[in-house]
Amino acid sequence: MKTNNLILQTATKVLVFIILLFSVYMFFAGHYEPGGGFIGGLMASGAIVLLLIAYDIKTVRKILPFNFIKVTATGLLFSAGTSAGALFFDKPLLTHWFTYVHPPLLGKMSLHTAVLFDTGVFLVVVGVTMTIIQTIGESE
Amino acid sequence: MFDVMLYIALLFISFAMVGLVYRVIKGPSVPDRVIALDGLGINLVATIAILSIILRTSAFLDIILLIGILAFIGTVAFAKYLEKGEIIE
């Protein structure tokens, strides 16, 4: 029997962008408010899981052509590189640093190297979660 | 006075949640239980909203959107499993 899930697919096209925006907001709010890399990565993988439910696994592979094991490796490289970068400036391991910059349109911003460490956490969480779900979903 | 009204609202929401839990336990078919679990999630959103008013904090407002998204994804996954027998095809 060919089932028609047009309503689910149309709702998914709108909802995935809202969930991804929420995950990016949670990621960047983590320094001053509840949130951070872990919950942001979990919500981003929740958006990809919604795509996997509405469409099949081949279509999602075509939409997001990532090898999620390599995404995990990139995240670990980010975190390890950020924590090891302090050694080049004669500081202990995992020392973080921030500075104020003045980009043209955005006004005064503080750039912190902890954001790079959090990016690594985000990528590791997305990669591990999607690897688990795709491995379980593919096995017959 | 305002806090008393909020506590009364919490009491009524907890009565509604007890009714939904009864439907989860007793429900004759599986879709009844799925709908009752979805309703429990929505009532949980209302409980957290009223609690964050009582505690006078805005730290829980992200949790409301989070529980809404998670309840939707869970219900959709359950519905697809009941209809097709597999969640990811």
Q: What is the pLDDT of residues A43-58, one digit of tens each?
A: 999 999 999 999 988 8
Residue A1 is predicted with a pLDDT of: 55
Q: Which chain B residues are Cβ-neighbours of A46 within 8 angstroms?
A: 69-70, 73
CB atoms within 10 A of CB A27: 22
Q: Range of A46's domain?
A: 6-138
Residue A2 is predicted with a pLDDT of: 63
Q: How many helices (H) and strands (E) does chain B have?
A: 3, 0
Q: Which chain B residues are Cβ-neighbours of A14 within 8 angstroms?
A: none
A77, part of any domain: yes
Of B59, B83, B88, the CB nearest to A52: B88
Could you tell me the two tokens for B57? Answer: 């904090």
Q: How far is A105 from chain B (nearest CA, A)?
A: 28
Model confidence at A5, pLDDT cuts 50, 70, 90, reads confident
Residue B63 is predicted with a pLDDT of: 93
Q: What is the pLDDT of residues B38-64, one digit of tens each?
A: 999 999 999 999 999 999 999 999 999
| A85/A93 Cα distance (integer angstroms) | 8
Residue B80 is predicted with a pLDDT of: 92
Of B65, B72, B77, the CB nearest to A22: B65
A105, part of any domain: yes
Model confidence at B67, pLDDT cuts 50, 70, 90, reads very high
Q: Which chain A residues are Cβ-neighbours of B78 within 8 angstroms?
A: none
The mean pLDDT of B64-79, rounded to a whole number, is: 94
Q: Which chain A residues are Cβ-neighbours of B77 within 8 angstroms?
A: 49, 53
Q: Which chain B residues are Cβ-neighbours of A54 within 8 angstroms?
A: 76
A90, part of any domain: yes
Of A3, A15, A19, the CB nearest to B83: A3
A1, part of any domain: no
Residue A140 is predicted with a pLDDT of: 64
Q: How far is A8 from chain B (nearest CA, A)?
A: 8
A99, part of any domain: yes
A51, part of any domain: yes
Size of the A and B interface in Cβ pairs below 8 Å: 40
A43, part of any domain: yes
Any B CB within 8 A of A3 CB: yes
Which chain B residue has its CA at the smallest distance from A12's CA?
B73
- The total number of structural domains that make up chain A: 1
Residues with Cβ within 8 Å of B4's Cβ and at least 6 positions away in sequence, in order, are none
Could you tell me the two tokens for A34? Answer: 């509840």
* H or E, element range at A101: strand A98-101
For chain A, the average pLDDT equals 90
Q: Which residue type, as a one-letter code, is found at position A104? A: P
Q: Which residue type, as a one-letter code, is found at position A69? A: I
| A49/A20 Cα distance (integer angstroms) | 12
Which chain B residue has its CA at the smallest distance from A137's CA?
B88
A84, part of any domain: yes
Indicate yes or no: pTM above 0.95: no
Q: What is the pLDDT of residues A59-111, one digit of tens each?
A: 999 999 989 999 999 999 999 999 998 888 888 988 888 888 888 888 888 88
